[in-house]
Amino acid sequence: MAQLINVLVVDDSAFMRKVISDMIDKDVNMQVVGTARNGQEALIKRQTLKPDVITLDVEMPIMDGLDTLKELMKEAPVPVVMISSLTKEGAEQTLLAMEYGAVDFVAKTSGAISLDLHIIEKEIVKKVKLAYKANINQEIKTTHHPRKLVREVRKESNNRQKKIIAIGTSTGGPKALKEVVTRLPKDIDAPIVIVQHMPKGFTQSLANRLNTLADIEVKEAADGDLLRSGVAYIAPGGFHMIIKKVGQSYSIQLNQEEARRGHRPSVDVLFESLATYVDLKKIAVIMTGMGSDGKVGLKSLKESGNCFAIAESMNTSIVFGMPKAAIESKLIDEVIDLDQISDHIMRQV
């Protein structure tokens, strides 16, 4: 029999502790070894219970989720899944938690005390199991900054062909996007289109967060946006993003057609829309994430020609699912660590 995944459930609501615990205990591969009412209690119980995974509420008294997470990650990091409310403040706090080391998050469907949490039972179970396998000890080198090299390379380039950078990512993506997007220069001669698997509301907070940190402009994509160089467009949660040519320009179209392999937005949908334009140079990037989204779309991009594909390495991927699937398809031109991706993007631009 496989070893059970031991879970510590942390939430200030007794009701939520009971509901989440029941969900986890129903799965034959997991068991709840304890619960905690706040961060201070969680830190004590972590030492005695030694859980494999912790579910951690964002908003708690005495010691909130973010402060607790920082302490959990200081010495011996443990996989953490944040439980967040669907509020603007909850989304912002959750994105900070991703930066601080949380593997993923689950959004409560009805605010702080959710009476219909059963709707996301499968998501909680799936993400706890994923967190158990995640590479939480991956290290991102932050001392190297490629902009000097990037600008030297750009000076040598006389290629004025229109280019576009298309990035797809999922679990671990917010942290990975921060590393890549904040290293791109403001005058980059290409627009950036991004699909990050994330619910509605959270993509807006992600765009706002990255926009405050990056030299380039970062925004949540809107239907009809004309693509501009030096701007990154993040597909809104719940919408597919496709690229359409309008005269000599390119624009964004959003739709709510059927989810592709469970995802909307879908990386495959974005990549396939770009494959239509053979005169456009595409730099496709697939980073950390569960599953294989992007693999089918990458095939279309490669068949259309004029595409350079980059995959994040296993060394730095929090979840080596999407990059692995792309690499196994034999369609990737370079497999590189996260801290080098922006540099290699600029070599192509």
Give catalytic residue positions: 170, 197, 293
First-residue to last-residue Cα distance in the chain: 51
Instruction: Indicate the SS3 state at residue 109.
Output: coil
Measured between alpha carbons, how far is 312 from 322 in angstroms, rounded to an integer?
9
- DSSP assigned state of 122: H
Measured between alpha carbons, how far is 325 from 331 in angstroms, rounded to an integer?
10
Residues 42 and 35: beta-carbon distance below 8 Å: no
Q: Retrieve residue 53's tokens.
A: 């995974």
Residues 219 and 234: beta-carbon distance below 8 Å: yes
Query: How buried is 156 (Cβ within 10 angstroms: 0-12 exposed, 13-18 middle, 19+ buried)?
Result: exposed
Measured between alpha carbons, how far is 70 from 331 in angstroms, rounded to an integer?
38
Measured between alpha carbons, how far is 22 from 35 in angstroms, rounded to an integer?
12
Mutual orientation of helices 267-274 and 295-304 as an angle, nearest 10°?
Answer: 10
